[in-house]
Amino acid sequence: MDKVYIRGLEVQTVIGIYDWERKAPQTLIIDLEMAWSIAEAAASDNIDAALNYKSVSQRVIAHVEASRCLLIETLAEELATLVREEFGVPWLCLELSKPGAVGEARTVGVKIERGEAA
């Protein structure tokens, strides 16, 4: 199975359950790995046959910036659904990290897999 990935995508959004978290945007870090056959793109050397990681990144950023979820679990599910439906990705692994949420940890977060692996 071929995979296209985006690592370390930093996005600012309002997220969290505490009052102080609802007052100012926080940084989230997104790592996304998506199943996608690169054979057609490689053979044609044509971006239209590829999973365009710039387009995926821009769409994910727009969604996250506009979201106002309380939980990163909710946002992770929304992003997984968005990428699978809008870009036709059959399988993905998404890691959503919230640095600074726990003072003693570098980061905390969730990691989910959705869809069928080839």
Q: Give catalytic residues, as residue numbers.
A: 98
CA distance 91 to 3: 9
Exposed, middle or buried, 47 (CB in 10 Å: 0-12/13-18/19+)? exposed
CA distance 10 to 31: 9
Q: With beta carbons less than 8 A apart as the criterion, state whether 67 and 75 touch.
A: yes
CA atoms within 13 A on the CB side of 34: 27
CA distance 46 to 44: 5
